[in-house]
Structure 1
Amino acid sequence: MIELRSVLYILAFALFIHGLMGLTGPRTAVRGNATAAAGMVVAIVATLLTPGMHDWWLIALGLVLGAVIGVPAARRVRMTAMPQMVALFNGVGGGAVALTAWVEFRQSGGFTGEPLFVVVASLFAAIVGSVSFWGSLVAFGKLQEVLPGRPITAGRFQTPLNVLVLAGALACAVVIGLGAGHEALMVAVLVLAGLAGIAVVLPIGGADMPVVVSLLNAFTGLSAAAAGLALSNTAMIVAGMIVGASGSILTDQMAKAMNRSIPSIVAGGFGGGAAVAEVTEGGTVRSTSASDAAIQLAYAGHVIVVPGYGMAVAQAQHAVQDMAKLLLDRGVEVDYAIHPVAGRMPGHMNVLLAEADVPYDRLREMDEINDDFARADVALVIGANDVTNPAARNDPGSPIYGMPILNVDQAKTIIVLKRSMRAGFAGIDNPLYTDPKTAMLFGDAKDSVREVIEELKAL
């Protein structure tokens, strides 16, 4: 039986790694996800073969409840709400790890007789898992706009508060490690760590929330690996380290894409979903109509579409693809410029456009397409704000100064589809909108694109 479990675990790990490799590109992402899911099924079967496993009805009940809640939730979630779902599901994982550490504490009589590495790993899992759970709930609330997207902070007392609650959790953990078996101490560890997660994430602004979700995902992976070490569960160790490592790499890449350090993000971000900024300086806003936009697009040689969160909210990706087909039929070259943090999670725009059957070779990353904007006749911006803001390049006083952006302002003509002059998630003005080359087409993105399509057909 032990040999079979070892073989199954090795198979599961191979499937995890192969699946992760498939997630590096849109053509293989679906297959990679299915492969990794198959690996998890194998890992679960191997774990159920552990000698001494009992309470089968509780295990079956947990599996059924998880499937009944998780599968419909995942199938019905809109792509605009995918970041929230990722944050919530990740938080559930951290919470499960924290509860597992608590159960280990209770079953061992306060870690009585347990090796030091088991005690340390369990307490680490409890603290980090609780931080991840409660922090992820706050991130979910901000992304779902249940909580304000702006930073919520205690001002100058925020940092001392963060240090105090985290130090309290660590102090209780040290006391437990020294031999105190009072369950109240373990509860205090979980509660204080949870308060630390809330206190750290609340002051972070909505513009930085995708990075925070990725960071908390890495925390969940590390806590799962620590719990696996305490439980001698190979699957948890390997899967947790894969999640922790990949989440850490992704967090680093996202922070670099925003030209922000992870410590500065954790110290308190900027921006929020409720911010509204009317552009009044540096020029006037010029509006256009669907018919004028259609004429500019129809007689262009090269059009670059810049999708953003506004396209996702309007579910306009299918209409955009229909418009692109009409332009291609007229001999217009159409490409899509994808910023690494467009939307609210990495790959958000890629998934939306792939769903609309946009050819993968037309989805071009920022570094690949930025030099082409100067040669583009029209840049069509659909609901993208901060990732097109020239202030990131030109204004040293801007909060996003230094953030790599798409060079939309270098195109010969710019058409921006927006509902209103509401600011982006960073809550700052975008001087692109007052550029003399820019025309604003106001309205719901899907409706605006459909109007443009009708005008194109009439030409």
Structure 2
Amino acid sequence: MITLIPTFLNSVVGLAAAFLLIYGLWRMSSPVTAAAGISVAGLGMLAVVLASFLLVFTVSEAAKPHLVVNVCLALSALAIGGGAAWWSGRKVAMTSMPQMVALYNGMGGGSAGAIAAMELFGNRAHGLTELSVTLLGALIGTVSLSGSLIAWAKLDSLINQPLRLKGQQVLNALVMLITLSVGVYIVFVTQTGVEPLMPLSGLIALFFGCALLFGVLMTLPIGGADMPVVISIYNAATGLAVGLEGFVLQTPALMIAGMLVGAAGILLTLLMAKAMNRSVSNVLFTRFGDTPHKKHGSITGTLKVTAAGDAGIAMRYAGSVIIVPGYGLAVAQGQQKLYEFVKLLQAAGVGVKFAVHPVAGRMPGQMDVLLAEAGVPYDLIFQLEDINDDFANTDIVLVIGANDVVNPVARTDKSSPIFGMPILNADKARQVYVVKRGEGKGYAGIVNSLFYTEHCDMVYGDAQAVLVQMIEAVRGLGLSATG
């Protein structure tokens, strides 16, 4: 009877934590309450972890001699992992956040795979349903692990170019077919008692090895432009794997948390793909911009360069300004100076808004986080569908480090790799200033026709340095210019 109390308390805490996770995720749906939502969800997971130590009172007699060692190992793992996460979370730069998310996705998938490995190698997964779910969770988690690690390497510039082999899709399909066949064979020999062709442990190892290989092969050919969608896909995969292994372990908190993360990741993936006018299968199984032999529509006009100070003064005397942030702003760490400049414009009576494209940056939501970090009020930040109609009535648009998301060829050039992708209608404003470090192309590898229009001027330089010059120019006008 006494041993039932820890089990009961662990179940109660797990159920309470599940509700905290649901509530926390709901709070994360709004930028205003996202930080609080993360804290609530984190509190729920902390409670589950601590409550799991109650199960030491329920171990079998055979396991008791190893109890102290196992508890010490668990506490050490928590201390090392928690310390590393805390340190890296405080030190990581905003531009490196996508890499960290990819890495943590991989660790989540790897954890699910490790749980499955323990169940399989320990012969603890019994019954057709339990064994099948364990193998499915192992497959998804292991693919997420190796795929996320490749995504991390790409984002961190350790792998600079997509690696594409002749017959890549056939090879990928063959590896997946072998993986599934081995999994089915494991179920078959386990359930029927038939003598396997090789030791069961060897079959399980082969299964995991093929799954790891498939994650690598699937991710290597994908270009950098698709990394936001890839991160989202692996996030969903990790959540699904955790949910499946939670079912195997009969842990409600893991089941609910995993399924919530999986569902949210799938929805985000679909939204990201829609924002790029592409299907998820197109991202995974084709190459971004694979129209190299088609001649894209010709660009007319010339690039016009202007000084940062002149652009800043023009915005000071404008009635309305929309700012389009991009990855170049994150690279320059210019968000603080940008908001300082915005406050100067607001003090002078200029109406300022921010327009954020769903795939701006290298990670879903990166621009929103970047602006929030600088203290930009949430009511100034608008998503594509909420602000696109405002551009036609806007005096000036300031594009900082963005490219493809404001390229008008997405509407007009059917041969362009970004044709059909919803873009921010920056070209419809009366005047556009574009801050860029040089004349480089965007992720899609095409020229932006907006830059060659009559009402667009280029301001070349590091975003933070350019913004400093704009601030100095507006302040140099005197107090009357700033209210």
Among 91, 97, 111, the alignment partner of 2:112 is 97
For residues 457 and 182 of structure 2, the distance between their equivalents in structure 1, rounded to whole angstroms, comes to 60
Among 177, 182, 186, the alignment partner of 1:172 is 182
Among 411, 417, 425, the alignment partner of 1:393 is 411
SS at match of 2:432: strand
For residues 104 and 4 of structure 1, the distance between their equivalents in structure 2, rounded to whole angstroms, comes to 24
- Given residue 49 of structure 2, which amino acid in structure 1 is its aligned partner? I
1:35 aligns with 2:40: yes
Contact between 2:15 and 2:252, CA under 8 Å: does it hold in 1? no
Displacement of 1:287 in angstroms is 0.5
For residues 128 and 7 of structure 1, the distance between their equivalents in structure 2, rounded to whole angstroms, comes to 29
1:163 aligns with 2:178: no
Partner residue in 1 for 2:315: 297
Partner residue in 1 for 2:133: 121
For residues 215 and 50 of structure 2, the distance between their equivalents in structure 1, rounded to whole angstroms, comes to 33
Displacement of 1:233 in angstroms is 2.1
SS at match of 2:382: strand
SS at match of 2:119: helix
Displacement of 1:280 in angstroms is 8.6
Gaps of 5+ in 1: 273-278
Partner deviation per Cα, 1:319-362 (whole Å, 9 max, x = no partner)? 11111111111111111111111111222111111111111111
Matches within 5 A, 1:308-327: 308-327=326-345
Partner residue in 1 for 2:192: none
SS at match of 2:237: helix
- Given residue 75 of structure 1, which amino acid in structure 2 is its aligned partner? R
For residues 449 and 359 of structure 2, the distance between their equivalents in structure 1, rounded to whole angstroms, comes to 20
- Given residue 46 of structure 1, which amino acid in structure 2 is its aligned partner? A
Contact between 2:15 and 2:253, CA under 8 Å: does it hold in 1? no
1:84 aligns with 2:99: yes
SS at match of 1:200: helix
Displacement of 1:252 in angstroms is 0.8
Partner deviation per Cα, 1:214-249 (whole Å, 9 max, x = no partner)? 111111111111112222222221111111111111
Displacement of 1:172 in angstroms is 1.2
SS at match of 1:33: helix
Partner residue in 2 for 1:275: none
Q: CA RMSD in A?
A: 1.6
- Given residue 13 of structure 1, which amino acid in structure 2 is its aligned partner? A
Among 78, 91, 94, the alignment partner of 1:63 is 78
Partner residue in 1 for 2:163: 152
SS at match of 2:246: helix
Contact between 1:207 and 1:269, CA under 8 Å: does it hold in 2? no
SS at match of 1:49: helix
For residues 136 and 87 of structure 2, the distance between their equivalents in structure 1, rounded to whole angstroms, comes to 33
For residues 99 and 217 of structure 2, the distance between their equivalents in structure 1, rounded to whole angstroms, comes to 19
Size of the aligned set, in residue pairs, is 448
Partner residue in 2 for 1:16: 21
Partner deviation per Cα, 1:244-276 (whole Å, 9 max, x = no partner)? 11111111111111111011111123269xxxx
- Point out the more displaced range, 437-446 or 63-72: 63-72
Contact between 1:206 and 1:271, CA under 8 Å: does it hold in 2? no
SS at match of 2:31: coil
Partner deviation per Cα, 1:92-129 (whole Å, 9 max, x = no partner)? 111111122111122227x5xx1112211111121111
Displacement of 1:153 in angstroms is 1.2
**Greater C-alpha Rg:** 2
Among 441, 445, 450, the alignment partner of 1:423 is 441
Partner deviation per Cα, 1:168-224 (whole Å, 9 max, x = no partner)? 111111111112452111111111111111111111111111111111111111111
For residues 187 and 134 of structure 1, the distance between their equivalents in structure 2, rounded to whole angstroms, comes to 15
- Given residue 83 of structure 1, which amino acid in structure 2 is its aligned partner? P
For residues 122 and 368 of structure 2, the distance between their equivalents in structure 1, rounded to whole angstroms, comes to 47
- Point out the more displaced range, 59-68 or 46-55: 46-55
Runs of 4+ off more than 6 Å: none
Q: TM-score, normalised by structure 2?
A: 0.90
Contact between 2:14 and 2:251, CA under 8 Å: does it hold in 1? no
Matches within 5 A, 1:170-319: 170-179=180-189, 180=196, 182-270=200-288, 281-319=299-337
Contact between 2:289 and 2:418, CA under 8 Å: does it hold in 1? no
For residues 291 and 45 of structure 1, the distance between their equivalents in structure 2, rounded to whole angstroms, comes to 57
Partner deviation per Cα, 1:405-425 (whole Å, 9 max, x = no partner)? 100000100000000011112
Partner deviation per Cα, 1:133-162 (whole Å, 9 max, x = no partner)? 0000111111111112x432113x111100
- Given residue 154 of structure 2, which amino acid in structure 1 is its aligned partner? K
Among 420, 432, 439, the alignment partner of 2:457 is 439
1:375 aligns with 2:393: yes
Gaps of 5+ in 2: 190-195, 291-296, 478-483
Contact between 1:305 and 1:336, CA under 8 Å: does it hold in 2? yes
For residues 386 and 121 of structure 1, the distance between their equivalents in structure 2, rounded to whole angstroms, comes to 42
For residues 199 and 429 of structure 1, the distance between their equivalents in structure 2, rounded to whole angstroms, comes to 30
1:141 aligns with 2:159: no
For residues 184 and 388 of structure 2, the distance between their equivalents in structure 1, rounded to whole angstroms, comes to 52
